[in-house]
Structures are given as C-alpha cells and as structure tokens.
Structure 1
Amino acid sequence: MAWSHPVPQITDEERRGRLAQLQARLEERGLAGLLLGSTESLRYFTGLVWHQSERLIGALVTPSQVYYIAPGFEESRIESLPHLTGEIAVWQEDEASAALIASLAGPVGKLALDDALPLFVYHELAQVFGPDRLFDGGRLIRDLRLRKSPAEIALIEYAMSLTLEVHRRAHGIIKPGVRSSEVVRFIDEQHRALGAPEGSSFCIVSFGAATSLPHGADGDQVYQPGDVVLVDTGCRLDGYHSDLTRTYVMEEPDAEFAATWAIEREAQQAVFDAARLGTACGGLDDAARRVLEKHGLGPDYRLPGLPHRAGHGLGLEIHEEPYIVRGNTTVLEPGMCFSNEPMIVFPGRFGIRLEDHIHMTETGPKWFTEPAKSPTQPVG
C-alpha cells in the first residue's frame, strides 16, 4: 500500500545505523553474534516483518554479517519482502535450524539471544551450543531501542493524532442503547478511514461498572444513560503504536465522579511534572501515588486506588521499556517515550483512566497529545 502520510517511514539508512551500533557492541563484548527471532526487534534492525510460528525465521547478526535464517520453502517469500541486504541461509524441514546457526556463528564466543525468542528455540540451541555459550541479549537490544530517533517520535506523534481524532468521533456516537461492539467496530473503521491500514491495533470500550476492570469485561455491554464510558484504543503506522484512553460521562457528572476525575487528572499531571531528565522512572509512579494518598486513596496498590504501574514505554511494541513503576531505577533520557495513566479504580463501581503519552526532549517532557479537558469533554 502506498504511503500517504505527512511523516516519513523509517528509512533503510536509519536501520543500517541501528545495525552498525548493534554490531559494534557485539564486537566490544566479544560475542559471536545475536540471534533475532520473528520479533519486533527483527523489524527494528532489519526491516523484515514476520509473524512467529513453530518454525524459526529470523536473523543472525554477527560483528560483520547479517544472515536471514529461514526454512528453504520460505526463501522466495523473504526475498520479496522489504529488508536490509543479507544472505538468506536456509534449513530444510528434516534439518535443525540450530545446527545451521552454529555453523554460521562459528565455534568461538557466546551467542546472544533476542529476549523475545520462544522457549523451544532456546532448547534447540542449548542442545547444539550448550547452555554456557548462550547469552541473554535482551539488555543489549533494549538499550538500543530505548531512546527513539526523531523519525520514530514523528511516527508515534502522528499515530497519536489519528487516534485522538478517532476518540473525538467515537464520543459522538455514544447514545443510549449503543453496544460496546458497535463502538469498537466504528473505531476500527475510523482508524482505517484516517489512514491506519490495519485499523485498530486494539480497542477496549467499557460502560458502567465494567470501567473498573482495567482491561475491560467479557461480553457485549449496552450503554445506559448515566454510565461512565471508558475507551482505550490505538493503531500502528509503519509498526509504531498509538495508545490513548479517555474516561467520561455524557451527561453532567455527579459530585463523586467529578471529584475523582479531577484527582485522576491531578495524578496524571504529577507524573508529567516529575518527568525530568535524570529522574528515575520509579519516581514518576511515586508522584502519582502521593496524589492519590493525599485524597485518601490507596495507599500502594490497595483499592480504591491505583492497582498497577503508572505507565509503560511504547514504540514498535505497545508495552516496552521504560516502565513507569515503583523501584525502576532507569533514568529518563532524551528520546524515551512512555504512557502516563495512573488509573483510579473503585471495584464494582467505576474506574477512571486518562492515558496520554510523553516523550523526553533535550529540555524535558513533552505531551504527544493534550490531556482531556473535563469529565464531559474527552477531546479539546
């Protein structure tokens, strides 16, 4: 499908730069290579997009080479897909992919592994390499992916703007009798209409007491007058996610809901205000909980209060580092992107989650989207 958005896709030049950084680190650490699976890291470094299956398809990155690892019958398919230049090394159905990888990596040095590889791949590799030659490559990968480039930030920001507009449109169709499934379908259609080719990457629409369940309830709910509405959705552009939640009521809110919504917004703002370069991620979660405790909620993970972390990183994965959670000593640096969503839950009654995302600039935090305005105005 032709690219029609005002922000560019990630270029091969940028991916070659990522790959060069990875290869330099492999060389520095004396590693024989890094094995990428059919994961978002494969896409990040090589541009190849492939979905996980029972057969290993990925890439072996050595300090000087890139080998695409694939069953023989998929070679022509891989050749047809976008990816950086590299030799396609094939294994046949009656052969072991681990043996092929060992022949390419050589007999010396440890093999680093993509931390998202499935366990069956690890076991096959351990039989050939021995466990002592296998190395957890997760930190190596995550450190390179943690700080987003200007091109990545531009894609995320544009995807967020699309989803914010979808929220505005969805707010307009909430009427008595509408089913959550109808709203979910409408949101998917609107994401597609705005140029997200795969539609919604996920969508939660909850009414009433179901809003107290952070990830929604089973079944098809029906909106009734006075219900609290929670909509959490996003899309992907060139693989990069948007993710926004709005919680509101369609009529004038009662005093309790209005007061709790204001506390939620105060906690969200406290996270933003605490997001300073050099600050530990755990400090942002602490800032949100201090607001809730001041208003008699919590403490800790007790309910009514905040039952989960205050945020998560986002990029090619919708949940990735850095995590905005108590005790996380990762310090904020330019290029880091993360959600700000210190949800307040009253079990069995209602929940309020306002979720916007932040990216760290050279001078401090910046919203990807402007936060909600009021309990009845989810989009400014």
Structure 2
Amino acid sequence: MAWSHPVPKITDEERLQRLVRLQASLEEKGLGGILLGASESLRYFTGLVWHQSERLLGALVTPKSVTYIVPGFEQSRVESLSHLPGEIVAWQEDEASAALVSSLLPSNVKLALDDALPLFIYHQLAAVFGADRLTDGGRLIRDLRLRKSKAEIDLIQHAMNLTLEVHRRAHVFIKPGVLASDVMRHIDEQHRALGATSGSSFCIVSFGVATSLPHGADGDQVYGPGDVILVDTGCRLDGYHSDLTRTYVLEEPAPEFARAWAIEREAEQAVFEAARPGATCGSLDDAARKVLAKHGLGPDYILPGLPHRAGHGLGLEIHEEPYIVRGNATVLEPGMCFSNEPMIVFPDRFGIRLEDHIHMTETGPQWFTEPGKGPTEPFA
C-alpha cells in the first residue's frame, strides 16, 4: 500500500548504518556472530518483517556478512520481501536449522543470540554448539536500539499525533449507554481513517470501577453518566508505536476525583521535570512516588498509589528499554523515548492514568504530546 504520511519511512541507508554498528560491536567483543530471530531486532537491522513460528527464520550477522536463515518452502516469500542484501540459505523440513547455523561459523567462535529468540530455539542451538559457545546478545542489541534517530522520532511523533486525534474523536463519541466495545471499534476505525492501515495496535476502554484495573476488565461495559472514563490506545507507522492514555469524566467531577486527577498530573509533571540528561531512569520513578507520598498515597507500591513502574521505553516495541523504574541506573541520553504514566489506583473505586511520552534532546525532555488540562478537559 502506498505511503501517505508526511514523514518518511526508515530507509535502507539508515538500516545499513545500524548494521555496520552491530558488526563493529561484534568485532569489538570478539564474537563470531549474532543470530537474530523473527523479532523487531530483525526488522530494525535488516528491514525483514516476519512473525515467529515453530520454525527458525532469521539472520546470522557476522562482522563481515549477513546470511538469512529460512525454511526452504518460505525462501521465495522471503525473496519477495523488503530486506537488506544478504545470502539466503534454506533448511528443509527434515533438516536441523541449528546445524545449518553451526555450519556457517568457524568451530571456535562464540555466537550471540537475539534475546527475543524462543527458548526452544536456544535448546536446539545448545545441543549443536554447546551452551558454552552461546552468549546473550540482548544487551548488545538493546544498547544499539536505545537511542532513536531523527527519522525514528519523526515516525513516533506522527503516530502520536494520529492517536491524539483519535482520542479527541473518541471523547466526542462516548455517550450514556455506549458499550466499551463500540468505543474500541470506533477507535480502530478512526486510526484507519487517519492512515494507520492496520488500525489500533491495542485498545483499552474502561468505565467506572474498571478503571482501577490498569489493563482493563474482562467482558464488556456500559458507560453510565458520571462514570470515570479511561482510554488507552495506539497504532503503528512503519513499525513504530504510539501509546496514549487519557482519563476523564464528562460531567462535573466529584471532588475526590478532581483531587486525584490533580495529583496524577502533578506526578506526571514531576517525572518530566526530573528527566534531565545525566539523570538515571530510576530517579524519575522516585520523583513520581515522592509526589504521591506527599499526598498520603503509597508509599512504594502500596494502594491507593502507583502499583507499577512510572514508564517504559517505546519504539518498534511498545514496551522496551529504557524502563522508568526504581533502581534503574541507566542514564538518560538524547534520543531515548519513553512513556510518562505514574498511574494512581484506588482499588474498587477508580484509577487515573495520564500517559504521554517524552523524547530526550541535548538540552532536556520534550513532550511528544502535551498533557491534558483537567479532569473534564483531557486535551491541551
């Protein structure tokens, strides 16, 4: 399908630069290669998009080459898909894919593994290589993916803009008697109408007490006048995610809800203000909890309060590094992108999650989307 957005897709030139950095890192660490599975890292480095199954399909990257490992009957399909140049080597149904990978490397080198490879593939490889020749490649991959390029940030920004507009349309759509499933369907339709051709990548719509469950309740719900509304949704553009949550009421808010909303917004702002280059990710989580404790909530993960981390990284995966969680010593650097969502849960009553995302610049944090104005005004 034709690309209709005002921001460009990731180019093969950028992917090649990523691949060069990966190969240099392999050389520096004395590794014979790294095996990428059918993961977002395969897409990140090679452009090849594939979904994990019971058969190994991926890429063996060495300091000097890229070789695609594919099931024989999928070879023609892989050849038709976009990917960086590299030899395609096939294995047949009665052959062992792990043995094929082994045959492509010298017998005395170590192989790093994509941390998204399934455990069953690890066991197959360990039986051929021996566990001592395999090493975790997750840190190597994550360090390279952690800081986003301008092209990545532009894609995320545009996806966020689309989803923010979808939130506005959902806000208008919600009326007494509407089902949560109807709102979810409307959100999916609006994502598609705005050019996110796969629709919503996820969607949570909760009313009333169900808003106190961070990831929503089972079954359908009916919106009634006065209910607290929580909508959390996103889409993908060229693989990159958006992810936004708004919590609000449509009528005059109860004093208890208005006070809680203001505390949540204060905590969200505290995270933003703590997000300075050189600060640790853990210090941002600390900043959110300090606000809540000041207002008699928590402490720690005690409810009423914040039951989970204050945020997560975002890119080709909706949850990726850096994680905004207590004790995380990762230092913030330009290009890092992450959510700011210090949710407050009041069990069996309601929950409030205001989720906007930040990307780090040379001088400090920048919002992808401006936070909401108030408990009945979810948009800036």
TM-score bin (small chain): over 0.9
Please name the residue that 2:61 is paired with. 61
Tell me, in whole angstroms, the C-alpha distance in 2 between the residues paired with 1:83 and 1:197.
21
Aligned residues: 380
Deviations along 1:279-298, one digit per CA (max 9) or x if unpaired, are 00000000000000000000
Task: Tell me how far 1:29 sits from its aligned partner.
Answer: 1.1
Task: Tell me how far 1:178 sits from its aligned partner.
Answer: 0.1
Q: Does 1:243 align with 2:239?
A: no
Please name the residue that 1:39 is paired with. 39
Please name the residue that 1:147 is paired with. 147
Please name the residue that 1:160 is paired with. 160
Give the TM-score taking structure 1 as reference length. Answer: 1.00
Q: Does 1:292 align with 2:295?
A: no
Tell me, in whole angstroms, the C-alpha distance in 2 between the residues paired with 1:127 and 1:367.
48
Task: Tell me how far 1:106 sits from its aligned partner.
Answer: 1.9
Alignment of 1:171-250 (within 5 A): 171-250=171-250
The alignment-based identity, stated in percent, is: 81
Long gaps (5+) in structure 1: none
Secondary structure (helix, strand or coil) at the match of 2:15 reads helix
Tell me, in whole angstroms, the C-alpha distance in 2 between the residues paired with 1:307 and 1:65.
46
Give the TM-score taking structure 2 as reference length. Answer: 1.00
Tell me, in whole angstroms, the C-alpha distance in 1 between the residues paired with 2:250 and 2:40.
39
Q: Which amino acid aligns with 1:86?
A: G
Please name the residue that 1:278 is paired with. 278
Please name the residue that 2:101 is paired with. 101
Give runs of ≥4 in structure 1 deviating > 6 Å. none
Q: Which amino acid aligns with 1:71?
A: P
Deviations along 1:118-159, one digit per CA (max 9) or x if unpaired, are 001000000000000001000000000000000000000000
Tell me, in whole angstroms, the C-alpha distance in 1 between the residues paired with 2:314 and 2:297.
28
Please name the residue that 1:169 is paired with. 169
Please name the residue that 1:375 is paired with. 375
Tell me, in whole angstroms, the C-alpha distance in 2 between the residues paired with 1:55 and 1:330.
35
Deviations along 1:206-261, one digit per CA (max 9) or x if unpaired, are 00000000000000000000000000000000000000000000001010100000
Tell me, in whole angstroms, the C-alpha distance in 1 between the residues paired with 2:167 and 2:349.
23
Secondary structure (helix, strand or coil) at the match of 2:34 reads strand
Please name the residue that 1:7 is paired with. 7
Tell me, in whole angstroms, the C-alpha distance in 1 between the residues paired with 2:253 and 2:106.
67
Task: Tell me how far 1:321 sits from its aligned partner.
Answer: 0.2
Deviations along 1:171-196, one digit per CA (max 9) or x if unpaired, are 00111100000000000000000000
Task: Tell me how far 1:108 sits from its aligned partner.
Answer: 1.9
Secondary structure (helix, strand or coil) at the match of 1:105 reads coil
Tell me, in whole angstroms, the C-alpha distance in 1 between the residues paired with 2:319 and 2:176.
34
* Pairwise CA RMSD: 0.4
Q: Does 1:366 align with 2:371?
A: no
Please name the residue that 1:327 is paired with. 327
Please name the residue that 1:86 is paired with. 86
Task: Tell me how far 1:337 sits from its aligned partner.
Answer: 0.2
Task: Tell me how far 1:109 sits from its aligned partner.
Answer: 1.2
Tell me, in whole angstroms, the C-alpha distance in 2 between the residues paired with 1:202 and 1:378.
20
Please name the residue that 2:74 is paired with. 74
